């Protein structure tokens, strides 16, 4: 069906707007059947300069500074800060969340996401060509995997680059994570736009993607995704931040408690492609319907855990309908007291426990990231959806608007 869907357009300008989202919900990109490179030469940044930004009442302010160049293109780092001690640094290269500082129960701030200190590190080490981890980046045009880099749309088969165990991962060999996005400040929000040309990485249709980051005084970082196309295509966007609520250099997150609002998950084959089944999590190590310590069952004798060397699976979020903003996950660090609540309009969430981090990457504090150093909670449509007609569709057609929202709320336990 090609009927366009009217979507709710919301300007994220603070706690009132986000609260309205929770109350009203949002629609996705389509109806029940059809829902929804740059040069690697890097120059260092010049001497830091900071420009003030106008606050929209939702944040204390925004500042900018040069962060180097990729080829002839300047890269800028934007800092969003609120009145509650939370500060988020975002690059227009890859839309990367480089750092996110949040207070613990004693009011002490720490960076709680993994990342690199320099642009050169992101270019050289974050990309799939380097076996990179996609720290903090926007993944697209299709986040997660497409089996064998092949899918059929309207009777035509498309080929996209394979870059992960014979499959296409996060858009292929040169995805949205490696692009310099066009940025502008909108009040207290940062709006990023990237136009992916028709045929880029093999995908049909010119896709205009807009991702807006907003921070409010309830310590909510809202990520609002929009996309439109001039020809039928597929789209799946997410943010690939790795969280460590004890601090990015604190070591494994295996002592963190995780709750997932999901009674089912999508089991995978040996190449991490969904089998097509939606399996119950009950009586398996995949059951996080009640708070569970991440490390308590990660080493269980379970075929699914062996495939990914730990958790690297998509959970099917429990939701009353297809458009509501619902709570998907809660993460808690018992030592610092920090909590992270993830709410989203997306149908799935990929939990990846950093299983392939090997200690060869040094983070923002010059600390080596080893296995389990962070956990990614990637809100998304299901992996390989273009090849599974029973999964929520990722097809986007001209006249339709892809629109998804994810909210990351930092808090503390008493």
Catalytic residues: 240, 378
> Within 10 A of 360 (CB to CB), how many other CB atoms are there?
10
Rounded to 5 degrees, φ, ψ at 21 are -60, -45
Under a CB-based contact definition with an 8 Å cutoff, are residues 381 and 391 in contact?
A: yes
- Using only the alpha carbons of the chain, give its radius of gyration: 20
Range 193-198, long-range pairs (CB < 8 A, 24+ positions): 196/140, 196/141, 198/230, 198/231
**CA atoms within 13 Å, Cβ hemisphere of 107:** 2
Q: Please return the burial class of 396, using the count of CB atoms within 10 Å of its CB with bins 0-12, 13-18 and 19+.
A: buried
């Amino acid at each position: 069906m090609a009927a366009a869907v009217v979507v709710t357009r919301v300007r994220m300008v603070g706690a009132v707007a986000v609260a309205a989202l929770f109350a009203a919900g949002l629609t996705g990109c389509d109806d029940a059947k059809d829902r929804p490179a740059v040069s690697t030469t890097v120059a260092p940044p010049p001497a830091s300069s900071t420009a003030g930004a106008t606050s929209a009442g939702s944040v204390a302010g925004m500042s900018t500074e040069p962060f180097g160049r990729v080829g002839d293109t300047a890269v800028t780092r934007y800092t969003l800060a609120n009145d509650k001690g939370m500060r988020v640094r975002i690059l227009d290269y890859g839309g990367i969340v480089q750092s996110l500082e949040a207070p613990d129960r004693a009011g002490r701030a720490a960076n709680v996401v993994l990342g690199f200190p320099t642009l050169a590190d992101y270019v050289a080490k974050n990309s799939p060509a380097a076996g990179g981890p996609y720290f903090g980046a926007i993944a697209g045009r299709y986040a997660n995997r497409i089996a064998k880099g092949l899918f059929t749309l309207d009777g035509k088969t498309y080929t996209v680059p394979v870059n992960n165990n014979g499959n296409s991962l996060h858009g292929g060999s040169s995805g949205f994570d490696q692009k310099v996005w066009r940025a502008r400040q909108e009040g207290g929000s940062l709006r990023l736009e990237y136009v992916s040309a028709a045929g880029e990485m093999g995908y049909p249709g010119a896709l205009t993607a807009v991702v807006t980051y907003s921070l409010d005084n309830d310590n909510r970082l809202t990520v609002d995704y929009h996309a439109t196309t001039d020809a039928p295509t597929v789209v799946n966007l997410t943010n690939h931040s790795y969280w460590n609520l004890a601090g990015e250099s604190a070591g494994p997150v295996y002592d963190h408690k995780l709750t997932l609002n999901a009674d089912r998950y999508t089991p995978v084959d040996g190449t991490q492609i969904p089998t097509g089944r939606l399996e119950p999590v009950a009586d398996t190590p995949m059951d996080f319907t009640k708070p569970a310590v991440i490390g308590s069952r990660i080493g269980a004798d379970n075929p699914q855990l062996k495939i990914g060397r730990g958790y690297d699976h998509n959970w099917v979020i429990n939701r009353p309908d297809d458009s509501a903003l619902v709570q998907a996950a809660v993460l808690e660090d018992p030592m610092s007291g920090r909590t992270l609540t993830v709410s989203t309009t997306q149908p799935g969430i990929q939990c990846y426990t950093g299983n392939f981090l090997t200690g060869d990457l040094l983070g923002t504090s010059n600390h080596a990231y080893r296995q389990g150093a962070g956990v990614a909670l990637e809100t998304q449509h299901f992996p390989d959806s273009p090849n599974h007609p029973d999964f929520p569709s990722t097809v986007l057609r001209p006249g339709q608007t892809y629109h998804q929202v994810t909210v990351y709320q930092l808090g503390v336990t008493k």
